[in-house]
Structure 1
C-alpha cells in the first residue's frame, strides 16, 4: 500500500502525535495560561491583603476601642457570608485541596474547588484581615490556585479523574509557590503534603505550573525574598544545642496548637459547643471579642498575618515586640480558626515560631540570635504541619540563607518527631477527612 495514495491516513497519524496534535496543544496552552493566572492572582491577593491590614491599623489608630466593635461584627459577617454564599470556603483552604485529591466523584471535587469558592475565599480572607483576625493568605491562595486549575479541567471536559487530580495538585503547588515566592517549597509541599496518601504522581505538569506561576509573580513584583536575606550562621559545636532545644520546644508547641484545632470541640464546655452549632454567627462574634481582648493585651501585635512581626524578629529587631508576643499570637490564631471564618495558618505559624526562637535565643547565649530565631520558626512550623522537608525548604527560601540548611533540616525533623508524640494525627490530613465526611 503506497502512502501517497492515502494522504489523509498519514495526516491523521501525524495529528495523533503529541507534538503535532491540535487538541494536545490547546490543552497545553490553556494549562500554561491557567498557571500564569494563578501567579497573577497570588500577587494581586497579596497586595490586597497588605492594603486590608493597613486600613485596619489606620482605623484602630484613630480610636483603639473600635476593635471591640470591628472584630465581633467582622467575624460574624464573614461566617454568615461563608455559609450563605460560599460554602466550602471556610478554614485554611489546604484541607479542601487534599480532600479534592482524595475524591473520585467529579461533583464532590467541584463542591470544594469552584471559581465561586475561589473568589469567596479571597474576599472573605480580606474581610477577616480587615477585622483584625490572626489569619494568613497562603493557604487560601493554594485553594484558589487549585480552583483555577480545576476550572480548566471542567472547560476541557477531561475524561479521566486522574487528569483532574493532576490539575488540582498543580494549582495548589503553584499557589503556595507564588504566595511565598518559594518555587522549591511549592514542589516539596505538593509531594510531601498535598499528594500524601494518594497515587497521584507529581511530575512535569506540577513543575511547569510552579515555574510559570513563580515567573509571573517575579515579573510583577520582582525577585524578592519573603522575610529578607538572613546572614546568620551556626557553626558546628556547642552552638548546635540550639537545634535540640528549638526542635523540642517548637515541635511540642506546634503539636499542642494542632491538637487545639482538632480537639477543641471535644474539650470546650457543652454550652459553648451548643452555641457554636445552633448560633454560629453569635459564636463567631464571641471569637471576635476574644481576638479584640487578645489584641488589646498584646499591644496590637497579634492582629493580621504576623508578617511584619516575623520580619522584625528575623532582621534582629525583636526588642520592638513584647516578650510574650508568641503566646498572644498563638492564642489569636487558635481563636480565629475556631470561629470558622476563611483564613490560613501559614504566616501566623511562622510568626509564632519566630517568637519562640526569640525566647530560645535568650536561653542560648552561645548561639547567634538570628540563627535561633530561624530555628524556632522552622521547628514550630514543622510541628504544626508535620511536614519537615517543606518546613525546612520554605524557611530556607524565605530567608535566602543556605548556610543554615543542615541546622534547619535537623530542627524540622526533630520537631516533627516530637509533634507526633503530642498530636498523633496530621493537622491538614485530619481536616481533609472532615471535609470528605461532610
Structure 2
C-alpha cells in the first residue's frame, strides 16, 4: 500500500478531526489521571495522619489547645489561597460548567497547583468535604492547559475542558463510564460525537492510570449482594419519594448557607474556613471514624448493624456539618458527602422497614446502595450518571434495575418540587445571574416589518436585537419557517419572538424602533 493510498484510506474511513481529538483525549487522560491519582494519594495519607492525631488527642487532651492553634493557622493559610484565586473555592464543578458555557474563565495553572494543594489541606483535615469535585476541576484544568500548550482554539478548549472534567471524575472514583455520562448529562447537556469520543478516551485513560495506583478492586466493594425480590419492589417507589424530598431539603439548605455565614460579619469571607476547622475538633475528638468525606462511614454502615437512634444521630451530624464545611468556601466538594448521606438514609430506611414491616434484614446493603444513587439523583438531577456511577463504584451490575427505579422516582419527585440541578444553581449564585432570567414564564410576541424599516433587506445575523430574545420563526405570507443566520428579512415579514414574560414591554419598545422607521 503506497503512502498516498494509506492517506486516502485514513481520510476515507476515519474522520481526521475525530482522530485528532481522540489523541488529545488520551493526552488529557494521562495528565488528569496522574494529577488526580497523586491528589488522592496525598489526601489519603494526610487524612490517616489527621485521624492518628485525634486518637492521640483523645488519650492526651492537654494537646487540644496547640491543635486548636494549628487549625486556626491552617484556616488562615487556606484563606490566603482563596484570596489569591477565588476560582479555587468549593467543589469546582460550577466553575467548570461556567467555563464551558463561556460565563467564567480561570487560570489553569493557578487552579492546578492552588486547588491541588489547598484541596489536600482542607479535605485531609477531617472536614466533611469530598475530593471528587476538586478532582473534576483539576482534570478540567489539565485539559485547559493541554489545549493551551497545543495552541487549540475556543472549541477545542471547551472539548478538552469537558473531557478533562470527565477524566477527573473517572480517576477519583475509578468510574470511566460515569465520567463520560457526567460530562454529557451534567456539563454539556447535549450529545456531541466529538465530545463523546474525546471524553471516552480521556476517562478510559485516566482510569487506567488510576488503577495502577489503587488496584482493580471497586472503590466501594461490598462483596456479593443479594438481589431484592420483586415482591419488595413497591418499597423502591416509597424510598424514591423519600429520597426526592430529602434531596430538595438538602438543596434548599445548601443554597441558603451564605445567609448563615453572613452572621459572621467581622470575618472576611475568605477566612470563613476558621469556623468549620474549629468546630471539627470536638467531632474528631469524640468520633474520629465519622470524619472526612464519608467513605469510611459508608463501610461502617455496610459492616455493622446500628440502631435507628444511632443512625439518626449520625445523619443529623453529617448533614449539619457537611453544610457548614461546604458553605465556608474551602476547596472541597459535596459529591462523596451526598453519597454518604444517601447511604445513611438507605440504612435508616432499611432498618425501619425491618422493624415495622417484618422484612428480611439481609437487604441492608441493597438500600444503602439505593440511597446513594437516589439522593445523588434528586440533588444533581443527573439520573444516568447516578445509576452508572454507583454501579461502577460497587462493581455489581445486578443492582442496576433497582438503582434505576429509585433514581427515576427520586428524579420525578425532585422535579415536581421545583428542584434545579445543584451545580447549575451554584453556578447561578456565582455569576450573579438572577433566577428569573433562567426560569419563569415565556411569551411569543409578533413584530411586523414595515416597508423601508431598518431591518428590511438585512440578514438576521446582521441585526442588533435586544438581549434575552430569540427569533423563533418568521411568517412570510401563508408560510412559517425557522430562520437561519443568513435568512434575509423582508418587508411584510412577521417575526415571532420568544422572550421572558417580564421583558415583553421592553423588547416590543426596542424592536418597534427598528421595524416602524420609514424613509
Give the TM-score range, shorter chain.
0.7 to 0.9
Deviation at 1:419, TM superposition (A): 2.6
Relative to structure 1, the CA distance from residue 414 to residue 275 in structure 2 (aligned partners, 3 Å threshold; closer, same or farther) is farther
- Residue 263 (structure 1) aligned with residue 251 (structure 2): no
Instruction: For 1:27 and 1:387, locate their aligned partners in 2 and report how far apart those are by CA, in whole Å.
Output: 26
Deviates more, 1:410-419 or 1:18-27: 18-27
Give the Å deviation of 1:290. 3.1
- The 1:414/1:26 distance shift into structure 2, 3 A limit, reads closer
Q: Contact between 1:257 and 1:384, CA under 8 Å: does it hold in 2?
A: yes
1:138-217 to structure 2, matched below 5 A, reads 138-159=132-153, 161-196=154-189, 202-217=195-210
- Shift of residue 328 of structure 1? 1.0
Q: Of 354, 368, 373, which aligns to 2:368?
A: 373
Could you tell me which of 230, 234, 240 is aligned with 1:241? 234
Structure showing greater radius of gyration is 2
- Cα deviation for residue 121 of structure 1 reads 1.2
- Unaligned 5+ residue runs, structure 1? 1-6
Contact 1:56/1:129 (8 A) holds in 2? no
Q: Give yes or no for the alignment of 1:34 onto 2:34.
A: no
- 8 Å CA contact 2:28–2:163 kept in 1: the answer is no
From 278, 298, 302, the equivalent of 1:310 is 298
For residues 351 and 207 of structure 1, do their structure 2 counterparts lie closer, same or farther at Cα, with a shift above 3 Å needed? same
Q: CA deviation at 1:46?
A: 1.1
> How many residue pairs get matched?
416
More helix by share: 1
Distance in 1 between the 2:338 and 2:350 partners? Answer: 18
Query: For the Cα contact (< 8 Å) 2:284–2:290, is it kept in 1?
Result: yes
Change (3 A) 1:204 1:74: same
1:52 aligns with 2:46: yes
Q: Which has the larger strand fraction?
A: 2
Match of 1:347 among 321, 329, 336: 336
1:47 deviates by: 1.0
**Per-residue deviation at 1:162?**
1.7
Alignment of 1:14-413 (within 5 A): 31-64=25-58, 66=64, 68-84=68-84, 86-103=85-102, 108-109=104-105, 111=106, 114-159=108-153, 161-196=154-189, 202-266=195-259, 268=260, 271-272=263-264, 274-275=265-266, 279-295=268-284, 299-314=287-302, 316-319=303-306, 322-323=310-311, 324-365=313-354, 366=359, 368-413=363-408
**Distance (Å, rounded) in 2 between the aligned partners of 1:264 and 1:177:** 29
Cα–Cα, structure 1 residues 407 and 275, in superposed 2: closer, same or farther, change >3 Å? farther
* Cα pair distance change 1:292/1:380, threshold 3 Å: farther
* Contact kept? 2:44, 2:124, Cα under 8 Å: no
Which SS does the other structure have where 1:394 is aligned? helix
CA distance in 1, matches of 2:258, 2:193: 33
Deviations 1:282-339 (A, max 9, x none): 5331233333345556x2344212111112323x325499422222112111101111
Distance 1:260 1:47 in 2: 32
136 and 332 in structure 1: CA distance in 2 versus 1, 3 angstrom threshold: same
- 8 Å contact from structure 1 (residues 96, 432) kept in 2: yes
Structure 2 residue runs of 5 or longer lacking an equivalent are: 434-519
1:326–1:351 CA contact under 8 A, matched in 2: no
TM-score (norm. length: structure 2): 0.72
- Deviation by residue 1:269-289 (Cα, 9 ceiling, x = unmatched): 8643x346xx22553312333
CA-CA distance at 1:94 after TM superposition: 1.0
Relative to 1, partners in 2 of residues 1:392 and 1:75: Cα closer, same or farther, differing over 3 Å? farther
CA distance in structure 1 between the partners assigned to 2:379 and 2:89 by the alignment: 19
- The match for 1:3 is none
- Between the aligned partners of 1:242 and 1:271, the Cα distance in structure 2 is 42
Quickly say closer, same or farther: Cα 1:303–1:75, change in 2 above 3 A: farther
The answer to whether the 8 A contact 2:136-2:169 is kept is yes
TM-score normalised to the size of structure 1? Answer: 0.85
